[in-house]
Each structure stands twice: as structure tokens, then as C-alpha cells.
Amino acid sequence: MKKKYSEEVEKLFKFGKTDLSKDWPNYAQELNIGEKNANELIDIVKTSNLSHAISGFTIKDFASRHAWRALGQLKITKSVPILLDALIDEKNEEAFDFRSELPKALVLMGFDIIP
């Protein structure tokens, strides 16, 4: 059973496919997602299963991709441990795009994420 998220974050589940060759949408402007939604975005990344990379994603499966992008754009530094854990989680091993996009999200957060 899917968790209940705020109206803004629920839109991520219908926002559509991500395209690795295009610029990322501005989630704050387009969906009114902000720092207030940080815990929900983190939860989506934590609970997502990215193992459908080869077998095919549904539109809802792209919510986690939008969530990690939004976390980077919003500079939600408390999400770094969760993002890194998701990177090495066995259930996400097929998610090649996550491995290429995670560095972009981290760069957006700036040098403050480095201890």
C-alpha cells in the first residue's frame, strides 16, 4: 500500500518519465515542492525499488528519480546518507541512471556535504 504524501509530492507519481539527455525540471517552480517536503522526498528514495530498470518502469516508478533530483535542487543535505545508501542497496543494482544522476544531485548541494 502506497503511503500518503502531500499534494505537491503526490504529483511526482504522475509527473512522467525522466529523460537523461534533457535538463531537469525545476521542481520548486513546476510542482511547488520545497524544503517543507524534504522528509517525503527522502522517504520516496528510501522506499523505492529501482530494480525495474531492465524490465520496464511504470510512470509511478519515476517518482523516485524526480525525488532525488528535487533533493539536489533544494540542497537537502540531510538526504546525502539516504542517497548514498540507495546507491549501494542491492534492490537498486539495475538502476544505472541513478549512478549517473546521483553525482549531479550531490554537486547541486555544494561542498557543505563533504565532512
Q: What whole-number distance in Å separates Cα of residue 29 and Cα of residue 15?
A: 14
- Tell me what pLDDT residue 1 has: 42
How far, in Å, are 34, 62, 67, 109 from residue 19 at the CA level? 22, 10, 14, 21
Buried b (16+ CB within 10 A) or exposed e, 45-55: beebebeeeee
Q: Render pLDDT for 91-109 as a digit per residue (tens, 0 to 9).
A: 777 666 777 888 899 999 9
Task: Please list the ranges in the chain whose pLDDT falls under 50.
Answer: 1
pLDDT of residue 67: 95
Structure letter (DSSP) for residue 15: S
